[in-house]
C-alpha cells in the first residue's frame, strides 16, 4: 500500500500543491515564498524521513498568516489521507529535541480527535519577514486536519529561531514514530476498533 498523497488547496488567499510520501524520504522540494517556513518544512521532512514537496503562492502582501496556516492545514490533510484507516501504525509518538540552549517536547496521538496544546514563549516577533506568532496557527491547522492530538512544549530556551526549529524537529520525529507500521499490531491500535 502506497502512503503517498497530493493535496491541492486553492482559496482566495493561497494556492497550495503539496505531496507527502510517508515512506520515502526523497525528494524534498519546498517553495512557500517564506524563507523561514521553507527551512522549517525542509528540516521537518529530513528529520521525519518523509518525502515532501510543496509549491505555495499566498497573499504575502498582507502577511504570512494565511500562507503559514494553510500549509499546516494541507500537511495535516496529507497525513490523514496517506494514513487511510491507520491500520498497523504505532499511533503514538513522543520526542524531546534539543537545539543548542533550547529543549522541546512533542507528543502526538493520531487518535482521530483533533486537539492542540502549544506552550512556547516566542519572544522575537519577526524572523526575517516571518511573524513568529503564526507558528501556533500552523500546528493548529495541522492538528485539526490530521485529526491528531498534538502537545508541543518548549521547555526552555532563549533564541526564538532555535525554539521554533526544535518544535519542527520534535514534531517530525514524533510523527515518524506515530506513523511507523508495526507488524505486531492487528488492525488499528485501539480497543474501539477504529481511530
Question: How far apart, in whole angstroms, are the C-alpha atoms of residue 60 and residue 1?
Answer: 38
Contact 6, 17 (CB under 8 A): yes
Stretch (H or E) spanning 17: strand 14-21
Alpha helices in 120-186 (DSSP H): 134-146, 160-179
Please give the average per-residue pLDDT across 123-141, as a whole number.
96
The answer to the question of residue 53 being in a domain is yes
pLDDT in tens, 100-121: 999 999 999 999 999 999 999 9
Question: How far apart, in whole angstroms, are the C-alpha atoms of residue 160 and residue 170?
Answer: 15
Domain that holds residue 174: 4-179
pTM of the model: 0.95
Q: What is the DSSP letter of 89?
A: B
- The CATH number of the domain holding residue 22 is 3.30.230.40
Question: How far apart, in whole angstroms, are the C-alpha atoms of residue 95 and residue 107?
Answer: 7
The answer to the question of residue 133 being in a domain is yes
Residue 61, judged by CB atoms within 10 A of its CB (0-12, 13-18, 19+), counts as exposed
Total number of domains constituting the chain? 1
What band does 135 get if pLDDT is binned at 50, 70 and 90?
A: very high
The CA radius of gyration of the chain, in Å to the nearest whole number, is 16
The answer to the question of residue 191 being in a domain is no
pLDDT in tens, 144-174: 999 999 999 999 999 999 999 999 999 999 9
The answer to the question of residue 189 being in a domain is no
Give residue 193's pLDDT: 77
Amino acid at each position: 500500500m502506497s502512503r503517498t498523497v497530493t493535496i491541492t488547496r486553492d482559496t482566495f488567499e493561497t494556492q497550495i500543491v503539496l505531496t507527502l510520501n510517508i515512506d520515502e524520504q526523497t525528494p524534498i522540494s519546498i517553495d512557500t515564498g517564506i524563507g523561514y517556513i521553507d527551512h522549517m518544512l525542509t528540516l521537518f521532512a529530513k528529520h521525519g524521513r518523509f518525502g515532501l514537496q510543496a509549491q505555495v503562492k499566498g497573499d504575502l502582501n498582507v502577511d504570512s498568516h494565511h500562507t503559514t496556516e494553510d500549509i499546516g492545514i494541507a500537511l495535516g490533510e496529507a497525513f490523514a489521507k496517506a494514513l487511510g484507516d491507520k491500520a498497523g501504525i504505532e499511533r503514538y509518538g513522543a520526542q524531546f529535541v534539543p537545539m543548542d540552549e533550547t529543549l522541546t517536547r512533542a507528543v502526538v496521538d493520531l487518535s482521530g480527535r483533533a486537539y492542540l496544546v502549544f506552550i512556547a514563549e516566542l519572544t522575537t516577533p519577526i524572523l526575517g519577514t516571518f511573524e513568529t506568532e503564526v507558528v501556533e496557527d500552523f500546528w493548529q491547522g495541522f492538528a485539526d486536519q490530521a485529526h491528531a492530538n498534538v502537545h508541543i512544549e518548549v521547555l526552555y530556551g532563549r533564541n526564538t529561531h532555535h525554539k521554533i526549529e526544535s518544535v519542527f524537529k520534535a514534531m517530525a520525529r514524533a510523527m515518524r514514530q506515530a506513523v511507523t507500521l508495526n507488524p505486531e499490531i492487528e488492525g488499528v491500535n485501539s480497543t474501539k476498533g477504529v481511530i
